[in-house]
């Protein structure tokens, strides 16, 4: 008997599992294929710090049970300065969050197959996808296939829908720690904060973070893209693990801190402008697109928004009496993506490149400027508002801008 569904989703991350929730709620036959085994899920994919904001929690009905701690502020640090802004957030227990999405999807009728590694698409005579092959020779057919495997992207790559470039790959690692001095006299009070630090001595061409999970516990991590910027500031041969260990050994806030149960989370995502994200009977969502916010690596909310846009698109097409699922009919997904998931992505990518190009001294000045501008300047710049970006630039940034322009023109 042929295994057939309305929708087959590869990957049970925040994007895939959310898409399954939305589609199952609308009554579609949906199956999720996840490479990991259920009893240990998530293991390798338990990779995220999972800092998020109330807008995500309320939009997607995420319960308090999966929250490790609530935070009040976002703090930006540079080598000698910091800037604090009031912005309530939540740090999730990522593994519990993933398991909640699976359980809730199942309750609504979604089917899950664990130990199911998707390898490639099954194509019909016209070269259009009609199913997926998994675990070697197992086959499954569906009207629509969705790739939500994050950076793995086996189906999206085989269909030439996405091309995730290695030079745009950001790698990250994080420890869960206890005994951290969260209110050290020389630094901002981080007891209820998510802190991001711009400092090339710690994270060359990237950033590091401390996200509070309790009075003296925190998620402590570092990430960067291994591009020219990283190489300019990096020490030859030093790995991302080496950089995190160095920071933990040097920063006085970790003087009495220890790693909790050797808990390490690691992973990667691509920071690049999405190109295509669909074709006939196929959609890519989450980090496969990639949907992650380039500036601060917020990928959970954006991935889930892309999942919702995909589910709405599929629902629209399958409601149509002719159930048209050709690329043209599914193109509405890309429009929704650019409107709702990551508006002004190009401007934000530009801001990201500019930010990680700046030297350490410029970061100190950036913090001082932020303290002097209106409260919402950073928020606006964050949304890609060019006026707000301009407010944070100075005449002395001219060499930086020239360097940036040269890199963009590749001369
Ligand atoms: C160190 C680190 C810290 C981060 N911190 C934050 C943060 O604080 N806040 C935030 O919002 N975002 C954060 N992110 C980003 C966020 O975790 C990702 O953007 C998000 O998890 C993307 O979700 P996704 O569902 O698209 O993909 P993924 O989370 O990558 O999920 C993909 C799923 O597909 C499965 N899979 C992979 N290959 C296959 C295959 N061939 N067949 C079947 N299944 C497969 C995987 O096992 C996994 O379950 C962080 C990322 C990292 C690496």
Nearest CA to 112 out of 216, 200, 214, 5 is that of 5
Separation of 13 CA from ligand 1 center, angstroms? Answer: 6
Tell me phi and psi for residue 397, to 5 degrees.
Answer: -85, 0
Question: Cα of 268 to ligand 1 centre, how many Å?
Answer: 8
Q: Atom 27 of ligand 1 has which residue's CA nearest to it?
A: 150
Contacts of 181 (CB under 8 A, 6+ apart): 216, 252, 253, 254, 255, 256, 257
Residue 404 CA to ligand 1 center (angstroms) comes to 30
Q: What pLDDT score was predicted for residue 407?
A: 63
State the distance from the centre of ligand 1 to the C-alpha of 151, rounded, in angstroms: 8
**What DSSP state is assigned to residue 410?**
T
Ligand 1 centroid to 43 CA: how many Å? 11
212 DSSP β-pair partners: 218
> Among 40, 48, 57, which is best to mutate for testing ligand 1, by the most ligand atoms less than 8 A from CB?
48
Locate the ligand 1 atom nearest the alpha carbon of residue 173 and give its number. 1
State the pLDDT at residue 410. 54
Cβ within 8 Å of residue 92, ≥6 positions away = 50, 51, 52, 62, 66, 67, 68, 300
> Is the distance from CB of 183 to CB of 236 less than 8 angstroms?
no
For residue 150, the CA-to-ligand 1 centroid distance in Å is 6
Instruction: Say if CB 18 and CB 309 are below 8 A apart.
Output: no
Q: pLDDT tens string for the chain (411 positions)?
A: 679 999 999 999 999 999 999 999 999 999 999 999 999 999 999 999 999 999 999 999 999 999 999 999 999 999 999 999 999 999 999 999 999 999 999 999 999 999 999 999 999 999 999 999 999 999 999 999 999 999 999 999 999 999 999 889 999 999 999 999 999 999 999 999 999 999 999 999 999 999 999 999 999 999 998 877 788 888 888 999 999 999 999 999 999 999 999 899 999 999 999 999 999 999 999 999 999 998 889 999 999 999 999 999 999 999 999 999 999 999 999 999 999 999 989 888 888 888 888 889 999 998 998 888 877 777 777 776 777 777 777 767 766 667 666 666 553
Atom of ligand 1 nearest to the CA of 149: 34
By most ligand atoms within 8 Å of CB, the mutation choice from 116, 299, 305, 306 for ligand 1 is: 299
Is the C-alpha dihedral spanning 78, 80, 85, 87 positive or negative? positive
CA quadruple 380, 384, 388, 391: dihedral positive or negative? positive
Residue bearing the CA closest to ligand 1, atom 52: 48
The structural architecture, per CATH, of the domain 68-92+169-269 is 2-Layer Sandwich (3.30)
Cis peptide before 355 (omega within 30 of 0): no
Residue range(s) occupied by CATH 3.50.50.60 in the chain? 4-48+95-164+272-341
Distance in angstroms (rounded) separating the CA atoms of residues 379 and 328: 35
pTM of the model: 0.95
* d(C-alpha 178, C-alpha 213), whole Å: 9
Q: Which atom of ligand 1 is nearest to the CA of 44?
A: 47
**Cα 359 to middle of ligand 1, angstroms:** 30
State the distance between the two ends of the chain, measured CA to CA, in whole angstroms: 59
pLDDT digits (tens, 9 = 90+) for 108-120: 999 999 999 999 9
Residues of the chain with CATH 3.30.9.100: 68-92+169-269
- In 3D space, the residue among 145, 172, 142, 168 whose CA is nearest the CA of residue 156 turns out to be 145
Q: Which amino acid residue places its CA nearest to atom 19 of ligand 1?
A: 299
Q: Whose CA is nearest to atom 30 of ligand 1?
A: 150
Average pLDDT, rounded, for the chain? 93
Q: Which atom of ligand 1 is nearest to the CA of 290?
A: 26
Q: In this structure, which residue's CA is closest to atom 1 in ligand 1?
A: 172
Check residue 374 and report its DSSP letter. -
* Phi, psi for 264 (deg, rounded to 5): -125, 135
Distance separating alpha carbons of residues 297 and 11, to the nearest angstrom: 20
Q: Spelled out in words, what is the top-level CATH class assigned to the domain 4-48+95-164+272-341?
A: alpha beta
Query: Ligand 1 center to residue 303 CA distance, Å?
Result: 9
Q: How far, in Å, from the CA of 343 to the mean position of ligand 1?
A: 21
Neighbour count for residue 283 (Cβ, 10 Å): 31
- pLDDT on residue 400: 67
Q: What is the pLDDT of residue 411?
A: 39
For ligand 1, residues with CB inside 6 Å are 10-16, 33-36, 42, 45, 47-52, 117-118, 148-150, 152, 154, 172, 174, 221, 265, 267, 269, 286-287, 292, 297-301, 303
Can you say how many angstroms the Cα of residue 10 is from the centroid of all Cα atoms in its chain?
Answer: 17
Which are the contacts of 323, defined by CB distance < 8 A and separation ≥ 6? 143, 317
SS (H, E, C) 27-90: CCCEEEECCCCHHHCCCCCCCCCCEECHHHHHHCCCCHHHEEEEEEEEEEECCCCEEEEEEEEE
């Amino acid at each position: 008997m042929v295994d057939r569904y309305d929708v087959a989703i590869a990957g049970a991350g925040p994007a895939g599992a959310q898409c399954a929730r939305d589609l199952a709620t609308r009554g579609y036959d949906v199956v999720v294929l996840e490479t990991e085994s259920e009893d240990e899920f998530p293991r390798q994919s338990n990779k995220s710090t999972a800092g998020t904001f109330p807008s995500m929690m309320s939009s997607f009905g995420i319960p308090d049970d999966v929250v490790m701690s609530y935070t009040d502020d976002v703090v930006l640090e540079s080598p000698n300065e910091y800037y604090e802004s009031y912005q309530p957030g939540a740090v999730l227990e990522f593994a519990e969050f993933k398991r909640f999405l699976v359980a809730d999807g199942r309750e609504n009728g979604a089917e899950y197959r664990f130990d199911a590694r998707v390898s490639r698409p099954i194509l019909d005579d016209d070269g259009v996808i009609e199913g997926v092959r998994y675990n070697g020779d197992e086959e499954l057919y569906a009207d629509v296939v969705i790739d939500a495997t994050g950076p793995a992207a086996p189906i999206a790559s085989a269909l030439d829908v996405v091309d995730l470039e290695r030079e745009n790959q950001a790698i990250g690692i994080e420890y869960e720690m206890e005994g951290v001095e969260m209110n050290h006299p020389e630094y901002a009070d981080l007891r209820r904060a998510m802190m991001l630090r711009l400092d090339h001595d710690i994270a060359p061409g990237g950033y590091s973070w401390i996200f509070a999970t309790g009075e003296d516990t925190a998620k402590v991590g570092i990430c960067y893209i291994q591009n020219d910027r990283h190489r300019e500031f990096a020490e030859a041969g030093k790995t991302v693990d080496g950089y995190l260990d160095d920071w933990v050994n040097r920063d006085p806030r970790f003087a009495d801190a220890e790693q909790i149960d050797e808990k390490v989370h690691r992973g990667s995502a691509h920071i690049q402008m999405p190109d295509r994200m669909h074709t006939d009977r196929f959609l890519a969502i989450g980090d496969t697109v990639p949907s992650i916010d380039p500036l601060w690596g917020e990928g959970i909310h954006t991935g889930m928004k892309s999942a919702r846009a995909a589910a709405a698109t599929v629902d629209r097409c399958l409601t149509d009496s002719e159930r048209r699922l050709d690329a043209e009919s599914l193109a509405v997904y890309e429009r929704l993506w650019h409107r709702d998931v990551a508006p002004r992505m190009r401007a934000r990518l530009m801001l990201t490149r500019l930010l990680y190009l700046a030297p350490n001294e410029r970061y100190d000045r950036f913090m001082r400027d932020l303290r002097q501008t209106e409260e919402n300047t950073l928020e606006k710049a964050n949304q890609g508002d060019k006026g707000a970006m301009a407010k944070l630039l100075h005449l002395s940034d001219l060499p930086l801008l020239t360097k940036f322009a040269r890199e963009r023109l590749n001369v």
